[in-house]
């Protein structure tokens, strides 16, 4: 697997949603997915080292593109000061859901791209599926920022939590 390519794809997608800073995305014409307009009520629970539970934010939007409605959820998975972590789910009817996970450890990035057909069983994507995902995300970028706040997203919320659990299983992190 080409880990450098995977890292570049994950960063590129997060830059397109104005989550990470970028020289190729003009923030004046792009609304960040982390905008308060997309903030959802649901949270992501994490168990802290002391046993307490912290709950991080989730944002969500939906985009109508080429007769397909895509729902996109972004979870702030950060648990340590100074370490940014994000989990992003892209889901549509009749197509596989994709998840990307990004951790920035002082410029040493840890990323993951995975897909699922049922929202429960995740599989790491090899280069071909990573490229397919990137191509789809580029098409969304070309549609523009015609996003609205996500509605009716219970299945996507569950899939995002399952994806985070999958990431944590792969990287042995702590998750409630």
Q: Report the C-alpha gap between 33 and 167 in whole angstroms.
A: 21
Q: What confidence tens digit (pLDDT) does each residue in 54-86 have?
A: 999 999 999 876 677 889 999 999 988 888 999
pTM given for the model: 0.89
Q: What confidence tens digit (pLDDT) does each residue in 105-158 have?
A: 766 667 999 999 999 999 999 999 999 999 988 887 766 557 899 999 999 999
Specify the pLDDT at position 28: 57
Q: Strand, helix or coil at 126?
A: coil
- Chain centroid to Cα 24, Å, comes to 19
Q: Report the C-alpha gap between 62 and 150 in whole angstroms.
A: 5
Q: How many helices (H) and strands (E) does the chain have?
A: 3, 8
**Looking at residues 42-62, what average pLDDT do you find?**
92
């Amino acid at each position: 697997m080409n880990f450098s390519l995977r890292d570049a794809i994950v960063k590129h997608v997060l830059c397109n949603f104005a989550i990470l800073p970028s020289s190729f995305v003009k923030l004046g014409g792009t609304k960040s997915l982390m905008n308060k307009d997309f903030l959802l009520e649901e949270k992501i629970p994490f168990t802290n080292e002391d046993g307490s539970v912290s709950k991080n934010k989730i944002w969500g939007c939906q985009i109508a593109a080429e007769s397909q409605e895509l729902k996109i959820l972004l979870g702030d998975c950060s648990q340590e000061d100074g370490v940014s972590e994000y989990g992003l789910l892209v889901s549509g009817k009749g197509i596989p859901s994709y998840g990307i996970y990004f951790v920035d450890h002082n410029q040493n990035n840890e990323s993951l791209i995975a897909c699922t057909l049922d929202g429960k069983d995740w599989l790491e994507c090899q280069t071909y599926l990573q490229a397919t995902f990137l191509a789809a995300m580029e098409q969304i970028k070309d549609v523009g920022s015609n996003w609205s706040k996500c509605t009716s997203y219970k299945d996507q919320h569950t899939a995002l939590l399952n994806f985070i659990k999958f990431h944590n299983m792969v990287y042995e992190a702590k998750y409630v």
